[in-house]
Amino acid sequence: MESTFAIQLNGIVQGVGFRPFVYRSAKTFGITGFVRNDKDGVFIEASGKNVEAFYHHILENAPQQAKIISHSFQKTETKNYPDFRIIESEAKQNNKQLFITPDFAMCENCRKELHDENNRRYHYPFITCTDCGARYSILKKLPFDRENTSMQMFHQCDECLQEYNDASDIRFYSQTNSCKKCGITLSFYNNKNELLSQDVEEILQQINVALQSGKIIAAKGIGGFLLLCDANNEQAVKTLRARKHRPTKPFAVMYPNLQQIENDYEVSEVEKEMLQSAAAPIVLLQPKSPLLGGFRGAAPKLNRVGVFLPYAPLLELILSKFNKPVIATSANISGDSIVYDNEKALQDLPQLADFILLNNRDITMPQDDSVIQFSSKTKTKIILRNGRGFAPIHFLNCQTHKTIFASGALLKSSFALAQNDSIYVSQYLGSTDEYDTQQTYKKVAENFLNLTSAKIETIVCDKHPDYFSTQFAKQKSEEQNISLQQIQHHKAHFAAVLAENNLLENNEKMLGVVWDGTGLGDDEQIWGGDFFSYQNKKIERVCHFEYVPNLLGDKMAKEPRLSALSFCKGMADDILKEKFTGQEWNYFQKILNNKYEIVTSSCGRLFDAVAALLNLCDKQSYEGEAALYLENLATENWKKFSNFMEDYDVHFDEEKISVQTILKQIISDIKCGENKGKIALKFHLSLVEMIETVARKNEFKKIAFSGGVFQNSLLVDLIKIKLEKKYQLFFHQKLSPNDENISFGQVIFPLIAQIDTE
């Protein structure tokens, strides 16, 4: 009798067609035994002459979306199996490890079948296989088996079942398997909530006509509803902006195919790869020629447009019929989170869309589309939003020893969970200063904790008492009697970038450049232009931008002209006065002359101030708008003069950096009529020089960067070009530099028991 071996595989091995693959391999190698999913991953018992070859074959040829993190191969009690089988998952009480898989974009094979008139899934908008389809967005519980997902209510027809049970079929054991006969159905409504059709061909035809005539469609995608309209139709885009109350914030554009994208944009190899990846995110690209018509309305005043490909079969069908690019943006009322359930869609979306396309499969984990960019020179990857396709972000082998929940920040919220040596960071959950977003945050967090069966031992949150995430954490801690830890915002940023680069155990001292818009500091002031050191598990604040008055709290973040007023300290009254009414001017002067209580070192506000001085933006309609215009202007200039390396002098005073010296020179340049693009570029270069000066003076050799300011791809390029030869530089990789990474930084703190802050 042949020996029997137990094979355990851990990693991303569920919901990716692993068991069918093992089954087929077993047949090839003449192996008997079984394979099953368990809470540890995939478990195999194998008997036969070629068990070892079979084992290596599995490790080397695993399915596309699978990622084996660890594996073991052990001789076990010899058994005589009659054949090889896939057996149902075993529900184990004490789960050691579990992994959640993101949603996968439609694979090439399914795309072919979708357009093949002779295929039984021709034009079936929910075609999937073991390589592609919804995963995280429909998950209710682990492991990823049909009855633990929203597919539970769809019972496979005979033909589907046959595929599901046929080991030679690509849909063998595909948990999302369905077809026209047994699967998900569409319902097409007008904005009076009248049902127009449930027939796929009829619906596709009506959508096509609607798009042609400039109408707006709300269609339920993978992570939620998307609003679609003809990107070439200027009026349609204007209407969409008016209805969404979104005057300037950029919209993404979905193209029918890569060819059309390549016709319109500069696309590098890495960008092409990203567009076509299983995550299929929105990628910011530079148009080849100036934008026309509706396109100008997609990304007003910006030199890059967010572009992506149809990642779901339904979107593929709509786009291939229309055969022109469409605006595709999350369906939400301004400030709210993405609409994802049918009831709310019929209630809220008629005010945004002319037609609403529902389907009867529930979304359990709402997600916006992910957004990513590559800096133009060094091609550094910068994540701007983690959502569908990437979420949840998963870090393995973290030696967590403890189950910890971290609740994140306020804007660009997310949460993180450390459990069983893994850390998950949730999708972007929007700005939790809105009631609707708070409800979504709560629901997603509870769903997540439920599906991971997490028994939280420690909760971590921000220091800011007013953040929704802080209140959520406090409430949970009180209700369940769990210890609570509060971590300073920028230290969490620093910890996040250190941990993402495996630097927490590093003994050499590290410089952390943490620049963002706002966060409550240890001294109760608003930080945001800060330098930290990390050594021997200790984080200390090294130096920061000199404080300026934080005018009118949140209002300052919305009105760059106020930042200019505050930062310039009377140096530019003649330039700034015209930005205010006489009454406003007197009012703000009075405030500035009185003793103000709150001050800030925010780098985000410094960008705002410079943008306002250059007349780029006085009031912004979305976070980061002014800074984007400034980056844009500087980038245009840099393209023309890439050898230009002049900067403004910066004055250092022990731990305070006088950014006023920079502003003084900028104001003088403006008054001399200097080219604005050149000023904008010089400003960026001055920040790089400032970083180098801090590193040099304090003898740092390694520098890590975090905070929303590092979404600025020009700044990242300049830092790399100017500093990479002399310093080791570390940026975020899977996480965004913005506040989405705060929850990860928070979750790290209790894990490094000795970590100490001052």
Candidate list 10, 19, 605, 738, residue with the active-site label: 19
Site for Zn ion in 119-148 (CB under 5 A): 129, 131-132
Minimum Å gap between C-beta 395 and Zn ion is 27
Q: How many residues sit in the footprint of Zn ion (CB under 5 A)?
A: 10
Minimum Å gap between C-beta 10 and Zn ion is 24
Nearer to Zn ion, 111 or 296 (CB): 111
**Contact indicator for 341, 439 with CB cutoff of 8 Å:** no
Give the closest residue to 299 by CA, choosing from 280, 325, 318. Answer: 325
- Our measurement of the distance from residue 617's CA atom to the centroid of its chain's CA atoms, rounded to an integer in Å, reads 26
- Strand 305-308 relative to strand 225-230, pairing: unpaired
Give the closest residue to 62 by CA, choosing from 132, 134, 163, 131. Answer: 131
Is residue 358 near Zn ion by the rule CB under 5 A?
Answer: no
Nearer to Zn ion, 113 or 608 (CB): 113
Residue 294 CB: number of other CB atoms within 10 A?
A: 24
**Contact indicator for 749, 487 with CB cutoff of 8 Å:** yes
Give the closest residue to 432 by CA, choosing from 752, 146, 669, 739. Answer: 739
Burial 251-271 (b: 16+ CB within 10 A, else e): bbbbbbeeebbeebbebeeeb
Distance CA 40, CA 38 (A): 5
Is residue 157 near Zn ion by the rule CB under 5 A?
Answer: yes
Nearer to Zn ion, 62 or 107 (CB): 107
Minimum Å gap between C-beta 446 and Zn ion is 31
Tokens of 497: 């970038």
Nearer to Zn ion, 131 or 354 (CB): 131
DSSP 510: E
Among 110, 227, 231, 363, binds Zn ion (CB under 5 A): 110
Is residue 151 near Zn ion by the rule CB under 5 A?
Answer: no
Candidate list 10, 24, 36, 37, residue with the active-site label: 37
DSSP 649: -
87-95, 151-159, 336-344, 483-491 -> range binding Zn ion (CB under 5 A): 151-159
Minimum Å gap between C-beta 131 and Zn ion is 5
Binding mask 165-184 for Zn ion (x = CB under 5 A): --------------x-xx--
Nearer to Zn ion, 160 or 305 (CB): 160
Minimum Å gap between C-beta 17 and Zn ion is 9
Cis peptide upstream of residue 325 (ω within 30 degrees of 0)? no
Contacts of 615 (CB under 8 A, 6+ apart): none
Minimum Å gap between C-beta 419 and Zn ion is 30
Question: CA quadruple 609, 467, 372, 745: dihedral positive or negative?
Answer: positive
Nearer to Zn ion, 18 or 295 (CB): 18
Minimum Å gap between C-beta 520 and Zn ion is 47
Contacts of 756 (CB under 8 A, 6+ apart): 537, 538, 539
Nearer to Zn ion, 129 or 633 (CB): 129
Is residue 160 near Zn ion by the rule CB under 5 A?
Answer: yes
Nearer to Zn ion, 176 or 601 (CB): 176
Tokens of 420: 């069983």
Binding mask 62-101 for Zn ion (x = CB under 5 A): ----------------------------------------
Tokens of 143: 């492991």
Nearer to Zn ion, 128 or 419 (CB): 128
Minimum Å gap between C-beta 127 and Zn ion is 7
155-163, 191-199, 580-588, 741-749 -> range binding Zn ion (CB under 5 A): 155-163
Tally helices (H) and strands (E) across the chain.
Answer: 24, 33
Nearer to Zn ion, 107 or 630 (CB): 107
Give the closest residue to 307 by CA, choosing from 340, 263, 355. Answer: 263
Minimum Å gap between C-beta 129 and Zn ion is 3
DSSP 108: H
Q: Catalytic annotation on 37?
A: yes
Residue 485 CB: number of other CB atoms within 10 A?
A: 15
Distance CA 415, CA 588 (A): 38
- Strands in 154-246 per DSSP E: 186-190, 195-197, 217-220, 225-230
Tokens of 37: 């999913």
Minimum Å gap between C-beta 115 and Zn ion is 13
153-161, 340-348, 442-450, 566-574 -> range binding Zn ion (CB under 5 A): 153-161
Half-sphere exposure of 734 (CA within 13 A, CB side): 21
157-165, 278-286, 541-549, 627-635 -> range binding Zn ion (CB under 5 A): 157-165
Nearer to Zn ion, 182 or 599 (CB): 182
Minimum Å gap between C-beta 124 and Zn ion is 9
Nearer to Zn ion, 182 or 723 (CB): 182
Contacts of 647 (CB under 8 A, 6+ apart): 682, 685, 686, 688, 689
Give the closest residue to 356 by CA, choosing from 496, 187, 204. Answer: 187
Contacts of 736 (CB under 8 A, 6+ apart): 382, 383, 384, 385, 386, 412, 428, 711
Minimum Å gap between C-beta 440 and Zn ion is 29
Among 107, 236, 659, 755, binds Zn ion (CB under 5 A): 107
Nearer to Zn ion, 184 or 755 (CB): 184
152-160, 378-386, 556-564, 573-581 -> range binding Zn ion (CB under 5 A): 152-160
Q: Provide the residue count of the chain.
A: 758
Minimum Å gap between C-beta 708 and Zn ion is 36
Is residue 606 near Zn ion by the rule CB under 5 A?
Answer: no
**Contact indicator for 230, 326 with CB cutoff of 8 Å:** yes
Contacts 24+ apart (CB under 8 A), 67-71: 67/11, 67/12, 67/13, 68/9, 68/10, 68/11, 68/13, 69/10, 69/11, 69/12, 69/396, 69/397, 70/9, 70/10, 70/11, 71/7, 71/8, 71/9, 71/10
DSSP 401: -
**Contact indicator for 368, 332 with CB cutoff of 8 Å:** no
Q: Catalytic annotation on 19?
A: yes
Binding mask 495-524 for Zn ion (x = CB under 5 A): ------------------------------
Residues of the shown chain interacting with Zn ion in the complex, contacts defined by CB under 5 A? 107, 110, 129, 131-132, 157, 160, 179, 181-182
Q: Kindly list the catalytic residues.
A: 19, 37
